[in-house]
Every structure is written in C-alpha cells, then in structure tokens.
Amino acid sequence: MLDSDIIKLIINGNTDKYRVLVQKYQDRVFHVCMGYVHNEDDANDLTQETFIKAYLSLNTFKFKSSFATWIYRIAVNICLNYIRKKKGNIIDRIENAIDSVTSNHKLQIPDYSNPEEILITEEHKKVIFIEIDRLSPKQKTAFILSKYDELPQKEIAEIMQITEGAVESLIQRAKTNLQKRLKNKINQSNDTTLQMILMCF
C-alpha cells in the first residue's frame, strides 16, 4: 500500500495505520536526528517528537511531495529548534554524547583495544562534532542529509525547499569549511589520525 493511501485511511479515522508509517520511517528519522545531536537519548526524543507532530499535522499533508520528504522536513525543523535552545551547551552535549555514538554513525572512528588509543579517538569525535555544530544551519542540514543519510541532492532540495544547485553549493561549502578548520587543527597538532579523518570529507 502506498504511503498516500495509508495517510488517507488515517485521516478518515483508521488511526492504527499510523504505526505502519512509524515503523517504515523511524530509523531514517532517527539518523537525521543523530546527525544533529550526536546522542541516542536526545535523538530518540526528537524522533518521537517528530512523529507526534507529523501525526497531529497529518490533515495538512497536501500529497504534493512524498511523506518521506515531508517528515524529514519536520525532523530537520525540530532538530534546529532544539539546537537553538541548547546553543549555549554545545560542548557539554558533545562530551556527553561520545559513549552513545553507534556503528550507524557515518563519521564514527573505529574503537581500539588500547585504552589510550580509545581516549584519542574520543577526542577526535569531539573535534568533528564541534566543527559540524559550527556550520551554519543550512550548511549543516545539507551536509547531514547528504553525509549521514546519503540522500540524493534532489530529495535534499525538496526537504529544504531550495534548488538542487543551492544544495550542491551548501554541501561543498560545508565540506570546505570542515576541511579548513580540521587542517588548522592538524597543523597545530600534527595529528596523523585527524589527517585520515579529513580524507572522509
């Protein structure tokens, strides 16, 4: 059954069908949220908030775009609002997030058996997360949807309601900014591991 058919059933009173949409898109929405907050507990809360808001707003769905695009847009807006409220505690959030970064995280650095090496990789994670959080909201959104969720530029453009060219420009600027900032840190520390991470961008 198509998403649009399920939505029509829900709007007409068959509310139990909403769980079908939740099960289908929960992991994808969670990954979007993880890209913003780097913390499983917060990402789960934001994912739940996204689906609650989507359910309450379902009667406003215009069927012009896909449900996936629509709910991604809701998730992005909720994450951005959350970050604005927590702006003053970015470093604390990132430090508390280190242990909850999962194997699904596209920028995760492998764990090692040596405790000293594990400590180093945690520092690398903090550096990367801090620099991602420093991106402008639009650059961050385009970068996360591209890098974390591997969405095509066309879909990102629909979610952000901008042109594909604008999406490409935002992603490139985000990568350039991340590369520049990480290079500065590499020059200061001569960190070979950070040099390898830089190649991912």
pTM, to two decimals: 0.67
Domain encompassing residue 190: 106-201
Phi, psi of 197 (to 5 degrees): -65, -40
* Confidence (pLDDT) at 109: 43
Cα dist. 89→55, 78, 134, 135 in Å? 30, 17, 13, 16
Q: Which two tokens stand for residue 92?
A: 């604390």
- What residues have CB less than 8 Å from 38, skipping those under 6 apart? 93, 94, 97, 100, 101, 105, 129
pLDDT at position 120 is 43
For position 56, which CATH number holds? 1.10.1740.10
In a domain, 122, yes or no: yes
How far apart, in whole angstroms, are the C-alpha atoms of residue 70 and residue 85?
23
> If we measure between CA atoms, which residue out of 82, 100, 98, 95 comes closest to residue 137?
82
Dihedrals phi, psi of 65, to nearest 5 degrees: -120, 170
Question: In whole angstroms, what is the distance from residue 184 CA to residue 28 CA?
Answer: 33
Alpha helices in 38-114 (DSSP H): 40-56, 67-85, 90-97
Does the residue 190 lie in any domain?
A: yes
Same domain, 72 and 123: no
Please report whether residue 101 resides in a domain.
no
Number of domains in the chain: 2
Residue at 62 is within a domain:
yes
In a domain, 157, yes or no: yes
- Both 36 and 78 in a single domain? yes
Q: Looking at the structure, do residues 36 and 65 belong to the same domain, yes or no?
A: yes
Instruction: Note whether 146 and 157 are within 8 A (CB).
Output: no
- Weakly modelled stretches of the chain, pLDDT under 50: 88-120
Out of 88, 120, 154, pick the residue that ends a domain.
88
Return the pLDDT at 15. Answer: 94
Q: Are 3 and 66 in contact (CB under 8 A)?
A: yes
Query: Residue 164: its pLDDT value, please?
Result: 94
Nearest CA-CA partner of 38 in 126, 150, 140, 109 = 126
pLDDT of residue 35: 86
Q: Is residue 190 located within the same domain as residue 116? A: yes
**Residue 99 maps to a domain:** no
Token pair in block for residue 164:
């594909």
Q: Are residues 68 and 157 in the same domain?
A: no
Contact 65, 86 (CB under 8 A): no
Are 84 and 110 contained in the same domain? no
